[in-house]
Structure 1
C-alpha cells in the first residue's frame, strides 16, 4: 500500500524535520500490515523513523542523512485479477529502481527490500531455497523479480548492504488476509471437505519478521544478500484447521471426501463458474514449503524466536 500513515512521528518538511530529529530509518509502505507492526518494534530501539510515501513527491521527503531504507511499499497480488500487468511493473519495479538509485547517491548503509517468495516460484516441488532459478509466472511475481534483478546487478559501494527479503505468507494480530477468511469459514461450523488432500505450507509470524529486521539494523556484520523469510516449521492445511479449533476451544469437522470426486467438481466449476474451480482447488491443496536456513545462519541462530504453532495460535486467537 502506498499512502504512508505516520505511526509515531509527524511527517512534514524534511529541512524543518531534520533540525529537531536525527532521522535514521526511512520506511515506505507504513500504512500496510507489516509497516504498522514494524515501526513500533524498531522504534523501541531508539531509531527515529521517517515515513515516506511513494505516491506524492517522495523524493522531497528523503532526508539529507539516514542510515537505512526499508522498502515495504508495493502493489500486492490481486486475487480477483482486476489489475493490469502495467500497474505491477510501474509500482513494484520502476518505483523500487528509482528509490534504490537515490539510496546509491546517499551515504546510507542499508537498503532492505521486501520482495516475495513469489518472485522465485509460483509452485514448489520439495523445499524452496535461495538457489532456485527464479521463474515467476504472474505479473506480481515478475515485477518483484525484475526489481530484484536491478538491485542485485547494480554496483554496490563498499561498506554498504543490500538485503532482498523474500517472505512467505505473513500473519499476525490484526491481519485480514486469507488466514482470517479460513478462520471465518471454520468458525461457522462448515466442515472442511478437503482433508484427504495432503499438503504442507510455510508461514511467517510478524514477530519473527520483526526480529529479523531488528537484527539486521543492529548488527553491521550480517552480510547482505537474498534471504527467504519463514517460520521454522511448515504445517498442513488440516493442522491449520485443527489450530483454528484449538484457538476457539471447539473441534473442527474434517471430511475426507475422495480427491477424485473433488477434482471432478472443480472441473465442473471451471465451466459453470462455481465457487470451487481447478485453480482455487490448487491454491487450497498445493504445498509451498520455504527453507529459512540461510537467514538463520546469517543471524547465527538455530531457530526463530517464535515457533510456527505459537505464532499462528497468537494470530488466530486475535480474530
Structure 2
C-alpha cells in the first residue's frame, strides 16, 4: 500500500522541494494543504484547502490516510514589528497551529510527525570553534526561536503519550537554487563587481543546501531510530564570510575585490547604522555538529557545500536573464 505524506508549507522554499522529492518516490502519495486554489504543484499532489494556521485550524480532510506529516509551514521573522505583538503572533502559528496539527494527526492515526524547527532554538551564535549540537540546552533569544522551542517541547510531550512519533530537525541557514533574503542579496552585491569590505572576516558559519535538508527529512520518514529525536543539520563544512564570498565569486564568474577591512571597524559602522543583527550574521560564528546524524541514522550530507553553492549561483545567473 502506498505511503501517504502530508507536507505543510508546500509553496515555501523548503516545502516545495520536499513535495517535488516525495513525488519522485515510488509508492508514495503527497498531500499538500494550501490556502490558494491557484497554486501550481506537480499533478500527482493531492491538494486540500484551509484558512490560516492557528489553534483552531481543521486539518481533518488533509489527514485522511496519512502516514507521515512533515510540518514545514511557519510564521517567520517580520521586520519592524512590536515585540509583544510579535511573540503572540508567532505563538498563534508556530505553537498553537503546530500542536493543533499534531493532535489531530495523532487522532487520525498518523505514525510520525516531522517538525522543521530552527537552529535559533539553540541560540544566535557560537564561540569560534565550538559548535551547537542537537542535545545542547536550548537558548532561544528572539520571538521566532522561542516559539519554535515551545512547539518542540509540546510535541515531545505528545510523543511521550505513545500516540505518535516525533522527529525534530533544526536547520541552519538553508540555501539553494531560488534562495531569497540575505543570501540572494549577497549574490547581488557580488555580481555588481564593486569592491566590498569583507576580505578579512575570520568567523565560521555552518550552512545547509536545500538538497541536504530534503535528504535528511526523507531519511527520517522511515528510519526507526529517528523516532522522538532532535537533529541539527548542515553541509558538514564551515566557512568564514570571506571564504563564502570567494567561492560565490568563482561560481558567479565575476571579478570582485574583497577589501580586508578589520571586522571591528565594520561592526562599529554597523552599530552606527543600526544594523547590528545583520552584522552578527555576517561577522559572527554559528557552527553545528552533525555527528549525531551519522551515529544514529548513518546519515551524512550526500551533497557537498561546493556542489550546493555552484547550483545556487548558476540558478541565480540564469534567473537574471529572464
TM-score interval for Structure 1 and Structure 2 normalised by the shorter chain:
0.7 to 0.9
Structure 2 match to 1:93: 95
Indicate yes or no: 2:152 matched with 1:148: yes
- Tell me the distance in 2 between the aligned counterparts of 1:182 and 1:71: 29
| Deviation at residue 81 of structure 1 after TM alignment | 4.1
Structure 2 match to 1:8: none
- Tell me the distance in 2 between the aligned counterparts of 1:308 and 1:95: 34
| Deviation per residue, 1:142-184 (Å, 9 max, x gap) | 0001001111122445594210110111111122232111000
Indicate yes or no: 2:228 matched with 1:227: no
Return the match for 1:38 from 15, 18, 21. Answer: 18
Structure 2 match to 1:49: 30
| Deviation at residue 87 of structure 1 after TM alignment | 0.9
Indicate yes or no: 2:118 matched with 1:116: yes
Alignment of 1:1-319 (within 5 A): 24-46=4-26, 47-53=28-34, 55=51, 58-81=58-81, 84-125=86-127, 126-156=130-160, 158=162, 160-270=164-274, 277-301=275-299, 303-319=300-316
Aligned-partner SS, 1:51: strand
CA contact (8 A) 1:52 1:58 kept: no
How many residues are treated as equivalent by the alignment? 292
Q: List 4+ stretches of structure 1 deviating above 6 A.
A: none
- Tell me the distance in 1 between the aligned counterparts of 2:209 and 2:22: 16
Of the structure 1 ranges 22-31 and 116-125, higher mean CA displacement relative to structure 2 is found in: 22-31
TM-score norm. by structure 2 comes to 0.84
TM-score norm. by structure 1 comes to 0.84
| Deviation at residue 116 of structure 1 after TM alignment | 0.4
Of the structure 1 ranges 94-103 and 292-301, higher mean CA displacement relative to structure 2 is found in: 292-301
- Tell me the distance in 2 between the aligned counterparts of 1:93 and 1:247: 40
CA contact (8 A) 1:201 1:237 kept: yes
| Deviation at residue 235 of structure 1 after TM alignment | 1.1
| Deviation per residue, 1:259-308 (Å, 9 max, x gap) | 343333334324xxxxxx4333222101111111112222214x311011
Structure 1's 208 and 60: CA in aligned 2 closer, same or farther, altered over 3 A? same
| Deviation at residue 33 of structure 1 after TM alignment | 0.9
| Deviation at residue 234 of structure 1 after TM alignment | 0.9
Structure 2 match to 1:16: none
CA contact (8 A) 1:100 1:111 kept: yes
| Deviation at residue 89 of structure 1 after TM alignment | 0.8
